[in-house]
Amino acid sequence: MSEVVLGVGASHSTLMNTHWDEVADLPDAVAFRDGLQEAAGLVAAARPDAVVIIGSNHFRGFFLDMMPAVTIGVGECVGAGESGTPGGPLPVDTGLARHLVDSLLENEFDAAFSLRLQVDHGITHSLQYLVPDLDVPIVPVVLNMFAPPLPTLRRCHRLGERIGRAIASDGEAKRVAVIASGGLSHRLPWPKWFATFSDDDRFLVEAWLNGRASWSEYEVRRRQIIRAAAPDINSDFDRRFLDMLADGGLGEILGYDNHRIESEAGNGGQEIRSWVAMAAAVGPARGRTLAYAPIPQWLTGMGVAVLSVGGDR
């Protein structure tokens, strides 16, 4: 029987790769980087045989021509490599990945699967900083967090519970770490695909619909739109969520609908789904926040937290 040995949640931002010099002297940015390094040490100390990583996709692997709610990579997995994140083939634990899909289906939870999955920094940023040598096979789980309608937080929690059960029933003896990538509060200058009002809105929706074979051709203008955005960070929401995670009491947040999440934490705050699923996969555990800081230069409330099974806070 395999077991989950550690859970980690970490915010991501490609600006950490491309514009680090702008914040290198800021204590908050340094503290977040140090929190990532501490978490990486804890992942290494846990000696995982596999890492289940739950994250989002920013329209570089999934597009509006086909947008599943949940997708598990069971074969090839390739990093898009945007903004200095890992590109090219990533090692996949295909046996565990297939077992997760089969187990979910047997428990009436339909997940899409992919034998050739392209992921972006919604998956690879955390691998880059938490599993820097990329020598541990992964199981990528991609949740739709940006193209409404989105799976509810309760649904994501149930997904995490079933992932945890599947790991425990795989008939192996693997040590598995579960990593959540995304969030916390932030607002991207992204329209809803069905409500475009400006030229930038229409450009982005075109990129999201037609970019499957040419996503990189849209990248320059897309990056300019994001860099021009004003930060919208809700530190109170972030700290409250991290406290709930540490206390193991996510019940309150599970009642939030999409509108409430967006109104309090921005459209990027929808990425807490990965954290919710991770916590449910880990099960009863002690939590600890390693770092939190609102970093307006990255548009995001940046947090790192760990859940230690049966451990101390």
Q: Of the candidates 154, 152, 188, which has an alpha carbon nearest to the alpha carbon of residue 58?
A: 188
Please give the single-letter amino acid code of residue 81: G
Q: How far apart are CA 10 and CA 183, in angstroms?
A: 8
Catalytic residue among 58, 99, 121, 157: 121
Q: How far apart are CA 307 and CA 313, in angstroms?
A: 8
> How does strand 50-55 pair with strand 138-143?
parallel
Residue 99: active-site member:
no
Residue 186: active-site member:
yes
Residue written as tokens 């926040």? Answer: 289
Residue written as tokens 């599970």? Answer: 254
Q: How far apart are CA 308 and CA 313, in angstroms?
A: 8
Q: How far apart are CA 42 and CA 19, in angstroms?
A: 27
Residue written as tokens 């309090």? Answer: 264
Contacts 24+ apart (CB under 8 A), 214-219: 215/59, 215/60, 215/63, 215/80, 216/82, 219/82
Catalytic residue among 12, 58, 125, 186: 186
What is the set of active-site residues? 121, 186
